[in-house]
Structure 1
């Protein structure tokens, strides 16, 4: 009888413990079972270490540290090669791996700022109005050409980034940037009255009145010819067209040498200039049979001249002109580009 009871005891005990696992866990059992589990874990720790399970768990971390070491060695070699560079301006130029701030989502262009790019345009800004410069973006290859500008920016504690040509293309939205780009403050245009008061002591003066030329490349070509032949001012209805990066690039810095004059009413502006002794000369984009005009070699110009340039012929302005002229072409090409025709006229003004 006793033997049978002893045999049955284990089966009764295990049956009761499995039932308690399924249906009822007392609060007193939980901590004791947790302690037992911790003891079991600690006893099996050595065996787990022997099977390299713990080491296997940390393998990704070791890989990461090796990658960090490799990256550090690459950066160290790059910095060492940059130090060994023979360029005398190496110490003055800093590399910047950060994304440039202008033209990206992190920075919105302010209304009073614009972009100037290409070598000659940026040099002209630095020469004529360097205090308007806000920031410089430049490639490593162009730093030697702009060492004076970089030195000045360092003295003024202004920002500049040495970046790749592709990054400058993103900023300027063009590939014709020449490896350099400036953020500058826009110029404030003059009124015609202010311009005349500032230049009242001049015996010789030439002004361009440009009517409805919106193409930035044509406008830039006009300004370049005007600066080459010593024109002092340009009258426009929309002076903000001169802030176009494309117009500045084509003008090759000529915009910085010419005063921008705001003229909402061209007829009233021409009348004011006539009263001040200016001769109004209208240059037709092509010869028109319905408009009486003269050829260039027949015209005698005054000392003070305002030249009216047309994209499309405006009869109101022609009626206010003292002289209307055209350039004689032929059947192959009856008319020239407006900027080329203006350059020919301005070269004859000097004679």
Structure 2
């Protein structure tokens, strides 16, 4: 069994290190394990409950080998560190993944192959954001596009809800609206506005292989001018028993419809 405290920098019994804007406090088992699998060098400090030692042996050994500090702490300490009881026995201070510029993201995409992306126009709730990330990872979304000036950023709550999806889907910063649309269309993308009502029936629509779904805010929905500038306007039909799906549920439906049309062809082309 590893010692109750180990690793290199950040060890000792003092208060947790301060975190700047480039750091994030992650919590939740799948969120931390996904970070370890994809970006272990981003780990700065690990806190865990004693019961998690067997499950996290590979991570603890990596911490020792790479002089990253870890501490075994009590449940109450984890609650304070995460500011929630929903930490699943592990909390980590990590460096944020850098946000990509649109041009760089486009340059890294496979040429002439199906690609799906999400443009988040005003989504702000961290739990919705986390649920969107989880669905996006499941359906192979290549990026989440955020408009200039967007305040949305990955939080510990969003990463936990995403269950590892936050590490699978990069965040992309868009330029101003006309330039963003021009760059996306030049790269072969169609843009589909997602409307609560008034759009074409999603399930009767044929979607382009390279598609950006533009998602509106939780309360106000999509900006109407932006919707009209898109190539398609789609709505999800339903029984009418409720006004609409929330943005996270709607996203899962939208992604699954594209995947049912294009996903199998994309897998076959790999």
TM-score tier after normalising by the smaller chain length: 0.7 to 0.9
Cα offset, 1:277, TM superposition: 1.1
Contact kept in structure 1, 2:215 and 2:222, CA below 8 Å: no
Alignment of 1:119-130 (within 5 A): 119-130=29-40
Change in Cα spacing, 1:328 to 1:185, as seen in structure 2 (3 Å) is: same
- Matched residue pairs, number? 252
How far does the alpha carbon of each residue in 1:65-96 deviate from its partner, in whole angstroms, 9 at most, with x for none?
Answer: xxxxxxxxxxxxxxxxxxxxxxxxx2x23259
SS at match of 2:212: strand
TM-score by length of 2: 0.88
Work out whether 1:142 is the aligned partner of 2:56. Answer: no
Which residue number in structure 2 is paired with residue 304 of structure 1? Answer: 210
Deviates more, 1:171-180 or 1:236-245: 236-245
Q: Distance in 2 between matches of 1:329 and 1:204?
A: 28
Give the ranges of 4+ consecutive aligned residues of structure 1 lying more than 3 Å apart after TM superposition: 237-242
Q: Distance in 2 between matches of 1:114 and 1:100?
A: 19
Which runs of 5 or more structure 1 residues have no equivalent in the other structure? Answer: 1-89
Which residue number in structure 1 is paired with residue 152 of structure 2? Answer: 241
Q: Distance in 1 between matches of 2:150 and 2:114?
A: 24
Alignment of 1:195-274 (within 5 A): 195-237=105-147, 241-274=152-185
Contact kept in structure 2, 1:95 and 1:162, CA below 8 Å: yes
TM-score by length of 1: 0.68
Q: Which has the larger radius of gyration?
A: 1
Higher relative contact order (CA 8 A, sep 6+): 2
SS at match of 1:188: coil
Change in Cα spacing, 1:180 to 1:242, as seen in structure 2 (3 Å) is: same
Instruction: Decide which structure has greater helix share.
Output: 1
Which runs of 5 or more structure 2 residues have no equivalent in the other structure? Answer: 7-11, 261-270
Alignment of 1:79-90 (within 5 A): 90=1
Match of 1:321 among 230, 250, 257: 230
Work out whether 1:185 is the aligned partner of 2:91. Answer: no
Q: Distance in 2 between matches of 1:236 and 1:190?
A: 10
Alignment of 1:1-351 (within 5 A): 90=1, 92-94=2-4, 101-102=15-16, 107-237=17-147, 241-284=152-195, 286-287=196-197, 292-311=198-217, 312-351=221-260
Which residue number in structure 2 is paired with residue 25 of structure 1? Answer: none
Q: Distance in 1 between matches of 2:14 and 2:83?
A: 14
Change in Cα spacing, 1:240 to 1:310, as seen in structure 2 (3 Å) is: closer
Cα offset, 1:187, TM superposition: 1.3
Instruction: Decide which structure has greater strand share.
Output: 2
